Chain A
Amino acid sequence: MAERMQLCNLSENNFEQCTKCSICTTVCPVAAVTTDYPGPKQAGPDGERYRLKDPAYFDKALKLCLNCKRCEVACPSGVHIADIIQHARMRATEGHRASLRDTMLANTDLLGTMANLVAPVANATLGLSPVKMVMHSMMAIDKHRTFPAYSRQKFTTWFKRHAAQSQDAYSNHVSYFHGCYVNYNFPKLGQDLVKLLNAMGYGVHLLDKEQCCGVALIANGLYKQAKRQARTNIASIRTAVNRDHHMVLTTSSSCTFNMRDEYATMLDIDNSDVRDNITLATRFIYNLVDEGKIKLIFKQDYKRRVAYHTACHMQRMGWQLFSIELLRMIPGLDLIELEQECCGISGTYGFKKENYERSQAIGSALFKSIEQAQVEAVATDCETCKWQIEMSTGLPVENPISILADALDVEATRQANGIK
Chain B
Amino acid sequence: MRMDTVIMGGGLSGLACGIALAKRGKRVAIVASGQSTLLFNGGSMEMLGYVDGKAVTSPLEAIATLPQSHPYSKIGAERIAALSERVKLLFNDSGVNMTGTANANHWRITPMGVAKPAWLTLNDHLRIDDLNNLPAKRLALMCIRGYFDQPNSMMAMGLRNLGFEVKVIEFTTDDISALRRSPSEMRATNLAKRLVSHSALQRIADQINSLAGDADMVLLPSVFGQSDDSDFQSLQSKVNKPLRLIATLPPAVAGMRIQTQLRHYFRMLGGTYLMGDSAVSGTIEGDQLTSITTAKMNDMPLRADNFVLATGSFVSRGLRADYERIYEPVLDLDVDADADREQWTRFGVLEPQAYMRYGVATDEQFRCRKQGKTINNLYAIGSVLSGHDAVKMGDGTGVSLLTALAVNDLIIAKK
Residue numbers of A with Cβ under 8 A of B are: 2-3, 6, 21-23, 25-27, 31-33, 35-39, 41-42, 46, 72-76, 276, 283, 286-287, 290, 315-322, 324-325, 337, 339-340
Contacts and interface: CB of A to CB of B under 8 A. Distances in A.
Given A26-B187, A46-B184, A290-B300, A35 B276 contact: no
Given A37-B182, A318-B277, 12 more contacts: A2-B322, A3-B323, A23-B39, A26-B256, A27-B35, A31-B185, A35-B181, A36-B182, A75-B34, A76-B34, A321-B1, A339-B263
Contacts of A38: 182, 184-185
A21 B189 CA distance: 13
B251 interface: yes
A337 B296 CA distance: 20
A196 B180 CA distance: 54
Contacts of B323: 2-3
A2 B325 CA distance: 12
A26 B1 contact: no
Given A32-B193, A39-B182, A290-B1, A76 B297 contact: no
Instruction: Name which of A23, A37, A315 has the most chain B CB atoms within 10 A of its CB.
Output: A23
B294 interface: yes
B39 A325 contact: no
Interface string B162-193: 00000000000000001111101101011001
Interface stretch (B152-160, B267-275, B391-399): B267-275
Given A32-B193, A290-B1, A319-B297, A23 B35 contact: yes
A74 B35 contact: yes
B276 A316 contact: yes
A318 B274 contact: yes
A148 B274 CA distance: 31
B79 interface: no
Interface string B48-63: 0000000000000000
Given A25-B251, A317-B296, A325-B1, A339 B264 contact: yes
A42 B190 CA distance: 14
A35 B185 contact: yes
In this complex, the interface size class of chain B, counting residues with CB under 8 Å from chain A, is 35 or more
A41 B184 contact: yes
A33 B263 CA distance: 23
Contacts of B386: none
Instruction: Name which of A3, A26, A316, A317 has the most chain B CB atoms within 10 A of its CB.
Output: A26
Given A3-B322, A38-B185, A339-B264, A321 B274 contact: yes
Interface in B249-280: 250-251, 256, 260, 263-264, 267, 272, 274-277
A23 B251 contact: yes
Nearest to B194: A32
A315 B297 CA distance: 12
3 closest A-B pairs by CB: A318-B296, A73-B276, A2-B323
A280 to B, nearest CB: 12
Contact of A276 (B178, B182, B299): B299
Nearest to B181: A35
B253 to A, nearest CB: 9
B185 A318 contact: no
A6 B320 CA distance: 14
B192 to A, nearest CB: 9
B198 interface: no
Interface in B24-45: 29, 33-35, 39
A213 to B, nearest CB: 20
Instruction: Name which of B277, B294, B324 has the most chain A CB atoms within 10 A of its CB.
Output: B277
Nearest to A69: B276
A321 B272 CA distance: 8
Contact of A21 (B250, B277, B295): B250
A318 B276 contact: yes
18 contacts: A2-B324, A21-B251, A23-B39, A25-B189, A32-B193, A35-B180, A36-B181, A39-B182, A39-B190, A72-B276, A74-B276, A276-B299, A290-B1, A290-B2, A316-B276, A318-B297, A321-B274, A340-B275
B137 interface: no
A256 to B, nearest CB: 13
B316 interface: yes
A26 B259 CA distance: 13
B317 interface: yes
Given A39-B182, A318-B297, A32 B190 contact: yes
Contacts of A74: 34-35, 276
A39 B277 contact: no
Nearest to A5: B323
